[in-house]
Amino acid sequence: MLGQKAMNSILLGLTKLHIHSINGKFVRTQTMKAPSSAEQEVIIFSGAKTTFLGQSTPFRTIIIHESVFENERLFDYVLIHEMGHRKQWWSFFGVPLLFLLIFGFFCLASAFIFLLQSLILMNPSYLLGFAWSVLLCLLALIIPCAFSWALEMHADFVAIKNMGLKAFEKIRDDLSKTRKLTLGSRIINRLTHPPAGFTVRVWRWFHK
């Protein structure tokens, strides 16, 4: 069931900026009906270089790539998954974790400086600073990534609950075979999303 609906102009404008930031292009807004019969207004975007097929943006709007509409079962999965994200009120805790991520990159830069000083000055004492910087960098990166994994796994659990485990496995398997990502996109995807097999194992562990 499809319909047209005018979105709040401020939210629409902010969402368009977000789409632009991920190398996408705004197409239209549309009200879609999820398999659960719940209606959800979504923003459809296009773009050959975008990393994600769908997102629940920081403005609590849902964007879906136009290619998803070519496969009904894939569309159902993406819509349910993003609706699951939209209900995650605790996702706001990810905002302070962004500062932790920035701190992690600062520590990484410091580690390289300590390493260079050790090599140039032939002073092994700088290696201690290098080791501490690397350790702090790893901790600062692991915590936000683990939080993102938890959010993504919960959204996938919502999809599995609505669609069934076998349908979820089939969709993710098809995506892994047909969707080609750049090296950078694959790295970002792995840092922010757990492998489908891991999600399935955790689901089965909780539903023995």
Among 29-43, 137-151, 180-194, top mean pLDDT goes to 137-151
Give one DSSP letter per residue of the chain, joined into a string.
Answer: -EE--PPPHHHHHHHHHHHHHTT-EEEEEEEEE-TTS-EEEEEEEE-SS-S-SEEE-TTS-EEEEGGGGG-HHHHHHHHHHHHHHHT-GGGGGHHHHHHHHHHHHHHHHHHHHHHHHHHHHT-TTHHHHHHHHHHHHHHHHHHHHHHHHHHHHHHHHHHHHHH-HHHHHHHHHHHHHH----HHHHHHHHHHS--HHHHHHHHHHHT-
Distance CA 204, CA 113 (A): 46
Q: What is the mean pLDDT of residues 170-184?
A: 85
pTM: 0.85
Domain-wise residue ranges, the chain: 2-87, 92-206
Contacts of 16 (CB under 8 A, 6+ apart): 26, 43
Angle at 169 between CA 52 and CA 207, to 5 degrees: 115
In this model, does residue 180 exceed pLDDT 90? no
Both tokens assigned to 91: 């996702």
- 110, two tokens: 């410091």
pLDDT digits (tens, 9 = 90+) for 87-124: 898 888 888 888 898 998 999 999 999 999 888 888 88
Q: What is the pLDDT of residue 37?
A: 64
Is the pLDDT assigned to residue 183 strictly greater than 60? yes
Q: Any residues with CB less than 8 A from the CB of 188 and at least 6 apart, and which?
A: 51
The rounded mean pLDDT for the chain is: 89
In percent, how much of the chain has pLDDT > 70? 96
Cα 69 to Cα 51: distance, rounded to the nearest angstrom: 17
Say what the pLDDT of residue 176 is: 84
In this prediction, residue 186 carries a pLDDT of: 86
